[in-house]
Structure 1
Amino acid sequence: MKEFPNFLQFQDELELLFFYNNKIQGEIPTWFWNNTNENIREVQLGNYFLTGFEQHPDVIPWRSLLILDLSFNRLQGSLPIPPLSTIVYEATGNSLSGEIPPSIICHNSSLKFLDLSNNNLGGTIPQCLPSFSDSLLVVNPSHNNFHGTIPDMTGINLKMIDLSQNQLHGLVPRSLENCTMLEILLLGNNQMEGTFPSWLGALPKLQVLILRSNRFHGAINVSQAKLKFAKLRIIDLSNNGFSGNLPSEYFENWNAMTMVKREKLTYMQASQGVPIGIVNSRSTALTLYTRPYVYSVTMDNKGTHTVYAKIQTAFIAIDLSNNKFGGEIPESLGRLNGLQMLNLSNNSLTGVIPSSLANLTELESLDLSQNLLSGEIPQQLSQLTFLEFLNVSHYCLFFVKKIKKTDQARPIA
């Protein structure tokens, strides 16, 4: 299809409308929004070719709407405001601009998933967010132009917060420690400041923490015994100003990184039951089905900037590159035998490569380049059968040839 079919103007009992992956082009016609259908519950218009609205609907009039998905088009203009019944609102991958109307969050106690990522939105994050965040499970306004500080968030049901790729500054709000259901926190590529927020370690379900490319600084200390990041599996602190020794005490307690579950291929996601079904004069039966929201993350892996559109629950990674860490690589890193990616490059680490890294039997990528390490490359690393990427460039290492006993160790780059 290349245009909206006219017969939709006369469908007064329509409940579900799916237009994914068609070739409908141009503007959404005015009659589409003005349809007086009271039954419509789910509308999905993702197809890459819609450019805007023939007449912009300030507020979408469908009072029973539960799911609105406008993702991956070329929509311009301001955000349309969904009705108060909306549970899922996704508009990622467009060219929408302006600020987030406060009423989208502040007056909608039904909203569970809000994804406005990859647009041209700006202004500040609505300060009313904490007042209604108890209903929200996912908040994703990443890859926009938001500025200012992050408002206090106290949502006890929040599972994912993605504020990455904006212009936010200031400290990580301490109110996040109230978000006890939080599984993934993405704050990368902003202008956040302060020292490492170790208090996040008390969050019992936090699995992914991305603070890359900000202005954090100072040593990473463990101030309280209980703050151990018990469920953490992915952490990226790269491109900051962290200093001091590597956090060996954390390595000794990140037990979730010691669990290997390659045989079970599942993906991280949040789910919400959505009532979709027949509603008319003859029947009011509703069918409850599960609406998943699949988490995604961006990291540098094997020397490449990689977008993980889906995060495998088996993926375990540490990236502490491009900081000011010094001292030796602690032996305790070797206990994290579920690690698939380890990047400690571009620091000031000294000493030798510990042989305990040979215990990382799941390791696929190891980058120790641009440090001050010396000595031999441990022969035990040859036991890492999954290792595809190894970078030990730009420091003074030595290897020993065993063909002749008279051979001396020679430096390699």
Structure 2
Amino acid sequence: MGLSLSFFMRFLFLLSLFSLISAGSYSSVLSPCHDNERFALLQFKESIIINRSASDDPSAYSKVSSWTTLSSDCCTWDGVQCDENTGCVTRLDLSSSYLIGSINSSSSLFQLVHLHRLNLASNDFNHSQIPAGVRRLSKLTYLNLSNSAFSGQIPSEILQLSKLISLDLALNPLKLQKPNLESIAEKLINLQELVPSEVDISSTLPSTLTNLTSLKAIYLRNCGLHGEFPTGIFQLPNLKSLSVHLNSNLTGRVPEFNRSIPLEDLTLAGTGFSGMLPDSIGNLKSLHFFDVGGCNFSGPLPFSFGNLTELIFLDLSDNNFNRGTLSWVGKQTKLTFLNLYETNLYGDIPYSLGNLTHLETVSLSSNELTGPIPSWLANLTQLTQLWLQKNILHGPIPTSVYKLRNLQILDLCLNRLSGTVEFGLFRELSSLL
């Protein structure tokens, strides 16, 4: 009888264990948070100030406020995730958490040596430097310190984080000069995402960036880049997002594209890029964001823009394109933003523009467009901004314009319009600024 009871009890234990595993709670029972990591987290909480002024993110809240000694399992704390088998803290997300204070190399944060992901974005670290102690987090694959008031030179110790896949340092008054961008390209060879936008780099772009074949996204907005852009970066086999805008001394040319290039987001605005846009740009069938406003491009606008049916944002403004028409517009039915300011356009506004019913902003200003303002503009019911100034448009303002109830900005000045303006109808446009 005793043997049967023992067997029955073992059976119940195994059944209970199986239920815990199935429910996903076994790991928490077997491997709760380690005491040393719990103390490290609490010590970090005590070293920092919580203040709403630290973040302007409307979704921000203080994650660490809920951390307490009354809860022994830090794996259940807000912003903290642990490995299910070992109980080690592997992820810490304290983004937009109202954190204010300085972090140095003695911070208990660097005792969390099993971290794979660390996100401290959108806080205020009081213009402290990124601590050299970051090297102790050697297992990091994801590091986000963006918009958190870090300053000074980025430490060379960051190059020791050889497993990094994503590095985001954007929107901080930082310098990346020693080490520099070339050092990052040589040491952090597993990078898929590199985001030092607004960081002071003040250098040329190293050709070694073309060796980062895993790179999917690189954002280098307003970094003081100069010299010739390495064309091979456009050809990286996995690159989906490339932004170098607002680097006025950066020059380059857009190469030919084959159908295998996966680019989705290409932003060159405010640079010294020049030459012609190739017809093969129409091969970028996944492109949804294209901005070359304020560059030095010339030659004809490629008709192959008509093939880019996934476009959501298109800005070709303020370049030196040849005189041309809008005959290529009409198939980009997902467009919400279209800026063709000063692109040397002539002729009537084509009826096909009325197919783009998702448009919210349209600028066709400072061209030589002729004919009347089309009445079918009323089809563009999502419009919030319509800029048609400085053209050769004639005739009356069609009453259909007054049906665009979402309009906030309407500019028709410096045309050859005629007829009577019924100012009373503008009352219908209650959203006008």
Q: TM-score range by the shorter chain?
A: 0.5 to 0.7
- State the shift of 1:115 in Å: 0.9
CA distance in 1 between counterparts of 2:358 and 2:373 reads: 24
In the alignment, which of 243, 251, 257 is matched to residue 210 of structure 1? 243
Give the helix-richer structure, 1 or 2. 2
**Amino acid paired to 1:209:** L
1:166 to 173, 176, 199: 199
Alignment of 1:48-67 (within 5 A): 64-67=88-91
Question: Which of 67, 82, 97 is residue 110 of structure 2 equivalent to?
Answer: 82
Aligned to 2:168: 140
- 1:153 equivalent to 2:182? Answer no
Match of 2:431 in 1: none
1:360 aligns with 2:332: yes
**Which residue number corresponds to residue 329 of structure 1?**
301
Partner of 1:251: 281
1:7-22 equivalence runs, <5 A: none
Amino acid at match of 2:359: L
Query: Separation in 2 of the partners of 1:368 and 1:402?
Result: 17
Which of 131, 138, 143 does residue 109 from structure 1 map onto? 138
Q: Is the 8 A contact 1:237 1:320 kept in 2?
A: yes
Deviation string, structure 1 residues 117-144 (Cα, Å, up to 9, x no partner):
11221222333544433x1121111111
Which residue of 289, 299, 310 corresponds with 1:338? 310
Within 5 A, what are the aligned runs for 1:14-413?
A: 25=50, 40=74, 44=78, 64-72=88-96, 73-79=98-104, 80=107, 81-83=109-111, 84-96=113-125, 97-104=127-134, 106-133=135-162, 135-147=163-175, 148=177, 149-150=180-181, 151-154=183-186, 155-222=188-255, 230-245=261-276, 247-257=277-287, 316-399=288-371, 411-412=392-393, 413=415
Higher relative contact order (CA 8 A, sep 6+): 1
SS in structure 1 of the partner of residue 234 of structure 2: helix
Provide the aligned C-alpha RMSD in A: 3.8
* SS of 1:170 mapped into structure 2: coil
CA shift, 1:156, in A, is 4.0
CA-to-partner distance for each residue in 1:369-390, whole Å, 9 max, x for gaps?
Answer: 1333323322322222323322
Count of aligned pairs between the two proteins = 310
TM-score by length of 1: 0.65
Tell me, which stretches of 5 or more residues in structure 2 are unaligned? 1-33, 52-61, 81-86, 376-390, 394-414, 416-433
User: Structure 1: any 5+ residue segments left out of the alignment?
Assistant: 1-10, 47-62, 258-315, 404-409
Partner SS for 2:194? strand
Separation in 2 of the partners of 1:386 and 1:117? 32
Specify the SS of the correspondent of 1:153. helix
- Name the residue aligned to 1:295: none
Bigger strand share: 1
Structure-2 change in CA distance of 1:146 and 1:181 (3 Å): same
Q: Distance in 2 between matches of 1:348 and 1:332?
A: 18
Confirm or deny: 8 A CA contact 2:225 2:250 kept in the other structure: no
- Output the CA distance in 2 between the equivalents of 1:95 and 1:45: 17
Given that residues 117 and 144 in structure 1 are in contact (C-alpha distance below 8 angstroms), is that contact kept between their aligned partners in structure 2? yes
Deviation of the 1:367 alpha carbon: 0.7
Distance 2:168 2:38 in 1: 27
**1:300 alignment counterpart:** none
- Following the alignment from structure 1 to structure 2, what is the Cα–Cα distance between the partners of residues 75 and 401? 54
* Residues 39 and 384 of structure 1: CA distance in aligned 2, closer, same or farther (over 3 Å): closer
Structure with max Cα Rg: 2
Contact 1:40/1:64, CA 8 A, preserved across alignment: no
Contact 2:279 2:303 in 1 (8 A): no
Q: Which amino acid aligns with 1:253?
A: N
Instruction: For residues 286-345 of structure 1, give each alpha carbon's deviation from its aligned partner in whole angstroms, at most 9, with x where no partner exists.
Output: xxxxxxxxxxxxxxxxxxxxxxxxxxxxxx110110112222211111111111111111
* 3-state secondary structure, aligned to 2:122: coil
